[in-house]
Structures are given as C-alpha cells and as structure tokens.
Amino acid sequence: MLKNLASLLFGGTCFLCRGAARDVLCAACDADLPRLAPQLCPRCALPSPGGTVCGRCLARAPRYDGTVAALAYAFPADTLVHALKFRGELALAPLLARLLLERLPPLRAVDCVVPVPLSSTRLRSRGYNHAAEIARPIAAALRAPLELSLCERRRDTAPQLELPWSERERNVRGAFASSASVAGASVAVVDDVMTTGATLDEIAAALKEAGAARVVNWVVARTLPPG
Ligand SMILES: [Zn+2]
Ligand SMILES: [Zn+2]
C-alpha cells in the first residue's frame, strides 16, 4: 500500500538518482545510505568502541536513557531530511520511519511514541510537523499510541540549526512540558536529527518530571561531532 503510494507520488523514479525504482529510493541508493556502524554509545548514539557508554555520557549523564539512530547526518541523509522538513515531501516520512524501525532493538516495547513538537508558529507556517510524520508509521508498526500533544513547547525558541552548538543548551532550557502525567511509563521520543542532544535532553527532563520511568530517543539521523 505505502509502496504503491510512493510510486504514484514519485512516478516510479528514485527520489535521489531519478533512476527506476519500485520504492521511494532505488535499491542502489538505499544500500548507499550512510547507515551508522553498530558500535555506538547506547545512551547518545555516538560512535563508541565496543558499543559501551561513551566518556561524554559517563562524565555528564543525559536525562534520556538511550538513543537509537539509523543514519549519520551526512549526504544523502541530509537531503532526505531537508526535503521532508522544508519542501513538504511527506512521502519520505514512511521511508525514514522504516530506516529507524530496522534499527530498533528487538525489545522495543514502549507505552507511547512522542514526536518532538514544533512551535505553534512554525507548525502554522509549515502546516505539518515532520517529526510527527516520521513517528506515525513507527507507532502504527509497534501498535503503540502516538501522543501528538503530550509534549508541549512552553515557549518559542530560536531554531537550534541557527545557533552555535555552545548556545543550544541554553536556548531550549525549560522550553518543554508534559501536558499529562506519564507515571511509570516508558516513552519513545522521535525526531529527524539529533545534533547536540540538547532538545532531547530537555524533553526527557520534562517527561521524567511528569513521572516517566524511561525515556528513549529514536532519531533518523545523528550528527557526528566535528573533527
Ligand atoms: Zn537511486
Ligand atoms: Zn554517549
């Protein structure tokens, strides 16, 4: 069904190379995606020898309990994310959701799936929340409730993309709240890209304040630190 929809929307051509494709991407472009190596820190999904908790997380534990990321935020993952986020290519969402689903561990039961919220101004101007579009097929596949309004933005923040890394933490501090109690719940927070993790850390703090027992991040792409 989704495949048919995709070929209808993309006319049977690969979104990246315009060659013949039965899905959004042809098999060659799909195989070339910058999938992350398996040895990642289970907490923040940055490369870590042996797949152990990395030094950064040991020195200063994030408030989320774990992170799963499918791709490195490099070409052409950035092209796909941008097209979904800024150009309204909504048919890319099921593809990004599938890449993330492929990466989730076998034990991945959660009580609910929560997309990172957009500010209401941005939601109005864009018309959709790309993170919610990615979260929807994931929640459906796992038969978990999709909670679109559980995590709220208390205030508008400058887009993290426009800020230097050093200012991102301060920009989002206290920016989120949970609209309901999630006492004892295991919550998965879905986003397109994780860069410094500052936004996801604040969201995890808000959900834990509302009683969540466990908060894990499921992100399509992970920005690797410079250098
Ligand atoms: Zn292709
Ligand atoms: Zn880490």
- Ligand closest in space to the Cα of 76: 1
Residue 123: partners with Cβ closer than 8 Å, 6 or more residues away: 117, 129
Q: pLDDT tens digit string along 161-210?
A: 888 888 999 999 999 999 999 999 999 999 999 999 999 999 999 999 99
CA–centroid distance, 23 to ligand 2, in Å, is 34
Q: Average of pLDDT values for 71-79?
A: 97
CA–centroid distance, 168 to ligand 2, in Å, is 18
CA–centroid distance, 104 to ligand 2, in Å, is 17
CA–centroid distance, 51 to ligand 2, in Å, is 10
Within the chain, how many helices (H) and strands (E) appear? 9, 6
Q: Average of pLDDT values for 37-64?
A: 96
Q: What is the pLDDT of residue 155?
A: 82
74, 227 contact by CB (below 8 A) = no
Please give the single-letter amino acid code of residue 5. L
Angle at 73 between CA 200 and CA 176, to 5 degrees: 15
Q: Which residue has the tokens 């929640």?
A: 139
Q: Is 189 helix (H, G, I), strand (E, B) or coil?
A: strand
Angle at 33 between CA 23 and CA 143, to 5 degrees: 60
Q: Tell me the C-alpha to C-alpha distance, in Å, between residue 192 and each of 4, 28, 81.
A: 24, 23, 7
Residue 225 confidence class, pLDDT cut points 50, 70, 90: confident
